[in-house]
Structure 1
Amino acid sequence: MRYIRYACIAVFAIALIGVALANRSIVSLQLVPAEVAGWFAVTPQISLPLYIVIFGGIIMGLFVGFVWEWIREHNQRAEAARQAREMRRLQREVAKLKGEKHHGKDEVLALLDEAG
Structure 2
Amino acid sequence: MRFLRLLFIVLLAIVLVAVALANREMVTLNAFPVNLDAYLGGKWSVELPLFMVIFLAVAFGMLAGLIWEYLREAHVRREARNRSAEVARLEREVGSLRERHANPRDEVLAIIDRPKGTGTDRPVTTANPASGTTLPAAR
- What's the TM-score, normalizing by structure 1? 0.82
Kindly state the Cα deviation for residue 39 of structure 1 after the two structures are TM-superposed: 2.1
For residue 25 of structure 1, what is the aligned residue in structure 2? 25
Structure 1: where are the runs of 5+ without partners? none
Kindly state the Cα deviation for residue 28 of structure 1 after the two structures are TM-superposed: 1.5
Amino acid at match of 2:49: P
Name whichever structure is richer in helix by fraction: 1
Amino acid at match of 1:67: I
Moved more, 22-31 or 65-74: 22-31
Amino acid at match of 1:41: G
Kindly state the Cα deviation for residue 112 of structure 1 after the two structures are TM-superposed: 5.2
Compared CA separation, residues 35 and 99, structure 1 to 2 (3 A): same
Distance across 1 between alignment mates of 2:62 and 2:40: 32
Higher relative contact order (CA closer than 8 Å, sequence separation 6+): 1
Is 1:71 the counterpart of 2:71 in the alignment? yes
Kindly state the Cα deviation for residue 6 of structure 1 after the two structures are TM-superposed: 2.3
Compared CA separation, residues 85 and 26, structure 1 to 2 (3 A): same
For residue 37 of structure 2, what is the aligned residue in structure 1? 37
Kindly state the Cα deviation for residue 60 of structure 1 after the two structures are TM-superposed: 0.7
Kindly state the Cα deviation for residue 41 of structure 1 after the two structures are TM-superposed: 3.1
Q: Secondary structure at the match of 1:46?
A: strand
Is 1:80 the counterpart of 2:80 in the alignment? yes
Distance across 2 between alignment mates of 1:33 and 1:43: 12
Distance across 2 between alignment mates of 1:40 and 1:87: 57
Q: Percent identity over the alignment?
A: 35
Is 1:59 the counterpart of 2:59 in the alignment? yes
- Aligned residues of 1:34 and 1:43 also touching (Cα < 8 A): no
For residue 11 of structure 1, what is the aligned residue in structure 2? 11
